[in-house]
Chains A and B, each alone.
Chain A
Amino acid sequence: MNSACYSSLQKPWRYWPLLLIVGIIGLSVDGFSSAAFAQTVAPEQLNTFVVDESGPDVAEASLLPAPTPQRADYPNIGASSRSIVWVIAQMHLFFGALVLAVPIFVLIIEYIGFKAEDDRYDDMAHEFMKVSLTAYAITALFGGTLALSLFLLYPHLMGYVMRAFGSQVLVYAGLFFLESMLLYVYYYGWNALRYGNRKWIHLTLGLLLNAVGTTLLVVANSWTTFMMAPSGIDPTTGAVIGNIWEIMKGPLWNPLNLHRFIANIAFGGAVVGAYAAFKFLSAKTPAEKAHYDWMGYSSNFIAILAFLPLPFAGYWLMAEIYAYSQQMGILAMGGILAWLFVLQAVLICTILLAGNYYLWTGMARSEGSERYRWLIKYIATALILGFLVWVTPHNVIYTASEIGRLGGGNHPVLAPLGIMPAKNIAVFIMLICTFLSFQLYRRADKVITVSWQSWGNALLVAIYVVAIANVIFAGVYYGYFTNTVYKVGSSVIQVMSTVVVIVSGVVIDTLMFKGAKTLHVTWGKVSNRSQYALFALPIAFTWLMALMGYIRSSVRTHWHVYTVMKDNSPDNFIPTLQTVGNMVTLVTLLFLSFLLFIFWIADLSSTRQVPLPTGSNRARAETAA
């Protein structure tokens, strides 16, 4: 690093990102609260009360109940308002998830490359950001369109939500500006801040970018969870009586924050994996193939690693939904929406099968994989059995004669497999099997040399056996031989058993890999077929995100804001599964189209036209011009 650079580092404006954040927070101190609204009394406010001198008119306005629009009050533009908002909101969410997630793992990859002094990591991280950059502009476009659509089609709802959140939405807008600035500096400053101490500046920018991005995520989540489980309002009338913090920190806010944060990373990993697969399949040289094979492997690693804890976050979210309203929980899991969980099973199993298949085929890169190949057929069998149990519905619509033959409304063998305990067993065993594939993949290119390797392997096998036995026992005992209220208790044991397998597997392997001999890995030596698994992942993820987002939103049934503001629009019903399927397919196809456009743009940016021959007519014409 030269002296000019050192001197620039000593200038105070280098702290500008920090100053901007402090500025935003400073602004928000006054602007954060719903200033025009009276506050409820909280014990912690006892010593800091300021008398509300806004006068009775303003205070009276604060007690305005939630709006009660009638059907005629909803604007009619000749098409289903819900469908329009559905498509635009989902597209915004897809791209939002992508642009918030990619910088998270890009930062980690960049850091790994920096510490390992390996430019390959740096180049890969930079290339990931190229995909994210184009997606960012599309996210903003869909975000703006979504806001306009909502104000046009649901003015009463938006008026109420704006009343509740007040100037918090301006903080959101401010953060968006900050995110944009940081993103552009982070991306375009990549090569200028590539080595030495400058790299630390670049990493700090990446950290700030992620901090702002995650804040944007949780702020936007508060609007969603307010509609599902409103807080800070009068439960009878919907009048806004709480301050902005009370409105934001509803019971579902943090579970949704965690769930979306993890899911975004898995989704982002899967999307950039598809990009790598696309580039791999298009690659002309072995070097290109090797690079994109490695990139695809890294993406799959990120996607599956983030995907493994996702069911636990989902479990927490669902448990909080049940705690908030049992009726809401049952509607999702046991009511009209429950059939969609059969579809969820198909989607998650597609993800797990594709992820596992990619790992199995990827093992071919190393000759050492031969030692573990015999296990694959057993893992595949367990995954397929798990899949079959998961998709088995509890009740099927039978004809009268079929009911007569069965001797009741439930099939004697299949019905017990249709309830949650059986599905929990299937899910956790599938997760354990996926981790086993992961572990085998990591071991494929290593020859362990530690003296205690037999004991280590025996310990690992014992942990797997005990965990699987635990998962099955807890599911069967609590699920079928205890009262309903204890059924949920089995999940805790199952979650813990699975976590123990994952954590102990990583720890034991890390210790065993010390001094291990590493076998040669031939990047690029992988079948084209395996790359389609990398396409299956984002397709299933996208479909799954759209589906689960629909379920989460639909549990509000005929309420815009659950229990306080009714939805009286013509679309206030839960549509049939076919309609849901069509809508989800539409948004997935749209997303896929935009994604291919992004891949194409990313490719175009690195394409350079070959100079025209000097003697050609075209060259002469251009020179003359």
Chain B
Amino acid sequence: MTVLMKTLGFSVALILVFTAVTYILPQMKGEAPEEIEVDVRNLTMDTFVAMGESLFQGKGTCALCHNSLGRAPDLLAFNVAGASLDRLADSRYQGVATDTEGYLRESMLQPSIYVTEGFGKKGSNDTESPMPAVNKPPIQLSAVEIDAIIAYLQNKDGNPVTVALPTAAAQSKDEAGPPTPVLAQSPEEAVAKFVCAACHSILDTESPVGPDLRDVGQRLSVAQIRQSIVTPGAVIAEGYVPMMPQFPNMTLQELEMIVAFLAMQTGDQS
């Protein structure tokens, strides 16, 4: 019994020492981001900017990396809006924005469009940013919230705020959320869903970007058609560049539907 009491006492005492350490550390609680209710009728630019600052520190999780610890450019330490103009003129800039507002929005939605030197993903030679797109999970900012952050970033260094205050229409569009994917029920729906006609001549649409698919059944076997969809880069038709994307969300049923449809395209239909 003595051994039991001694070992138990020692063990419990040690456990309590570890527990005590948690009591002397700073106590912080990480709340889940709350959906901000924006009353657009009473919104002023000042409150919109304040909302942007709150999003920057909170839900947007911008301050997690954009701080003085060197994980990402410290946006609070320099004039971001002013620097945007230099970046637009930089040869490494890949986007289409023409002004500060556009650049800031682009950098949040497509962070790799311009990667500050030294902050790219390892091995990417500063062409790929480790920053996630803020409109997608896990951050999932709405368009209105992104605008609020842009307003804050413009305002913090005394630059003119060019972002327009949100309207009720913009807000309701935001609340609609992403569309639910719909399974294509026919070959035509599948062709439309995966936007084949954007590059290929098919059905009633003509496009010179990719090979004509109206007679593909004559040129390729079923296996080859399937391969060209599953692994577009495996065989490149002569005279065309390898630019066809893969379709990670295509189901097996949709694939077979498109393959069967294309196999029947022998050029005789017209």
Interface residues of chain A, those whose CB is within 8 Å of chain B, are 38-43, 45-47, 49, 51-52, 54, 56, 59-60, 62-63, 65, 234-237, 239, 241, 277-278, 281-282, 325-327, 330-331, 334-336, 339, 342-343, 346-347, 350, 397, 483-485, 488, 532, 535-536, 539-540, 543, 557-559, 562-564, 567, 572-578, 580-582, 584-585, 588-589, 592, 596
Contact of A588 among B15, B69, B131 (CB under 8 A): B15
In the bound complex, residues from chain A placing their C-beta under 8 Å from that of B132 are: 325-327
> Is B269 an interface residue, CB under 8 A from the partner?
no
Contact of B231 among A39, A43, A567 (CB under 8 A): A43
Give Cα A41 to B119, complex, Å: 34
For window 142-189 of B, CB contacts with A under 8 Å fall at: 178, 180-183, 185
Query: Are the CB atoms of B251 and A63 closer together than 8 Å?
Result: yes
In the bound complex, residues from chain B placing their C-beta under 8 Å from that of A581 are: 18-19, 21-23
> Is B239 an interface residue, CB under 8 A from the partner?
no
The stretch that binds A, out of B26-34, B38-46, B92-100, B202-210, is B26-34
Query: Are the CB atoms of A51 and B61 closer together than 8 Å?
Result: no
> Is B230 an interface residue, CB under 8 A from the partner?
yes
Give Cα A573 to B32, complex, Å: 5
Contact of A237 among B27, B33, B64, B180 (CB under 8 A): B180
Give Cα A90 to B174, complex, Å: 40
Interface of A is mostly: helix
Q: Do A52 and B14 contact each other (CB < 8 Å), given the known contacts A563-B138, A575-B29? A: no
In the bound complex, residues from chain B placing their C-beta under 8 Å from that of A350 are: 14
Query: Are the CB atoms of A234 and B22 closer together than 8 Å?
Result: no
- Kindly report which residue of chain B lies nearest to residue A532, judged by CB atoms: B10
Question: In the complex, how many angstroms separate the beta carbon of B39 from the nearest chain A beta carbon?
Answer: 22
Chain B, 187-230, contact with A by CB distance < 8 Å: what is the 0/1 string?
00000000000000000000000000000000000010011011
Give Cα A336 to B30, complex, Å: 7
Q: How many residues of B contact A (CB 8 A)?
A: 64
Q: Do A335 and B64 contact each other (CB < 8 Å), given the known contacts A326-B130, A563-B137, A567-B32? A: yes
**18 extra A-B contacts, CB within 8 A, seeds A281-B7, A488-B122, A585-B19:** A40-B250, A41-B250, A41-B252, A54-B253, A59-B183, A60-B183, A237-B180, A278-B7, A330-B65, A331-B61, A334-B64, A347-B18, A484-B118, A484-B119, A558-B33, A576-B28, A577-B23, A581-B19
7 contacts between A and B (CB under 8 A): A56-B183, A59-B253, A63-B183, A326-B71, A339-B25, A484-B71, A558-B32
Question: In the complex, how many angstroms separate the beta carbon of A47 from the nearest chain B beta carbon?
Answer: 8
Query: Are the CB atoms of A585 and B64 closer together than 8 Å?
Result: no
Query: Are the CB atoms of A557 and B32 closer together than 8 Å?
Result: yes
In the bound complex, residues from chain A placing their C-beta under 8 Å from that of B25 are: 339, 342-343, 577
- Kindly report which residue of chain B lies nearest to residue A419, judged by CB atoms: B69
Give Cα A420 to B69, complex, Å: 12
Name, among A41, A63, A564, the residue most crowded by chain B CB atoms within 10 Å (CB to CB). Answer: A41
Query: Are the CB atoms of B251 and A59 closer together than 8 Å?
Result: yes
> Is B78 an interface residue, CB under 8 A from the partner?
no
Query: Are the CB atoms of A278 and B71 closer together than 8 Å?
Result: no
Query: Are the CB atoms of A536 and B14 closer together than 8 Å?
Result: yes
> Is B57 an interface residue, CB under 8 A from the partner?
no
In the bound complex, residues from chain B placing their C-beta under 8 Å from that of A46 are: 223, 226-227, 230-231
In the bound complex, residues from chain B placing their C-beta under 8 Å from that of A575 are: 29
> Is B255 an interface residue, CB under 8 A from the partner?
yes
Interface residues of chain B, those whose CB is within 8 Å of chain A, are 3-4, 6-8, 10-12, 14-16, 18-19, 21-23, 25-33, 61, 64-65, 69-71, 118-120, 122, 130-132, 136-139, 178, 180-183, 185, 223, 226-227, 229-231, 234, 247-253, 255-256
In the bound complex, residues from chain A placing their C-beta under 8 Å from that of B32 are: 557-558, 567, 572-573
Query: Are the CB atoms of B11 and A592 closer together than 8 Å?
Result: yes
- Kindly report which residue of chain A lies nearest to residue B123, judged by CB atoms: A485
- Kindly report which residue of chain A lies nearest to residue B231, judged by CB atoms: A43
Contact of B138 among A56, A339, A557 (CB under 8 A): A557
Give Cα A344 to B70, complex, Å: 24
Query: Are the CB atoms of A485 and B119 closer together than 8 Å?
Result: yes
In the bound complex, residues from chain B placing their C-beta under 8 Å from that of A577 are: 22-23, 25-28
In the bound complex, residues from chain B placing their C-beta under 8 Å from that of A574 are: 29-31
Query: Are the CB atoms of B249 and A40 closer together than 8 Å?
Result: yes
Give Cα A282 to B7, complex, Å: 11
Give Cα A126 to B12, complex, Å: 29
Give Cα A3 to B210, complex, Å: 77
Query: Are the CB atoms of B181 and A234 closer together than 8 Å?
Result: yes
Give Cα A576 to B27, complex, Å: 5
Question: In the complex, how many angstroms separate the beta carbon of A517 from the nearest chain B beta carbon?
Answer: 37
- Kindly report which residue of chain A lies nearest to residue B27, judged by CB atoms: A576
Query: Are the CB atoms of B3 and A282 closer together than 8 Å?
Result: yes
In the bound complex, residues from chain B placing their C-beta under 8 Å from that of A540 are: 14, 18
Query: Are the CB atoms of B65 and A326 closer together than 8 Å?
Result: yes
Give Cα A580 to B137, complex, Å: 26
- Kindly report which residue of chain A lies nearest to residue B33, judged by CB atoms: A558
Query: Are the CB atoms of B23 and A578 closer together than 8 Å?
Result: yes
In the bound complex, residues from chain B placing their C-beta under 8 Å from that of A239 are: 181
Q: Do A339 and B31 contact each other (CB < 8 Å), given the known contacts A41-B230, A63-B183, A540-B14? A: no
Query: Are the CB atoms of A39 and B252 closer together than 8 Å?
Result: yes
Query: Are the CB atoms of B23 and A241 closer together than 8 Å?
Result: no
In the bound complex, residues from chain A placing their C-beta under 8 Å from that of B226 are: 46, 49
Give Cα A65 to B136, complex, Å: 15
- Kindly report which residue of chain B lies nearest to residue A59, judged by CB atoms: B253
Query: Are the CB atoms of B253 and A52 closer together than 8 Å?
Result: yes
Query: Are the CB atoms of B181 and A596 closer together than 8 Å?
Result: no
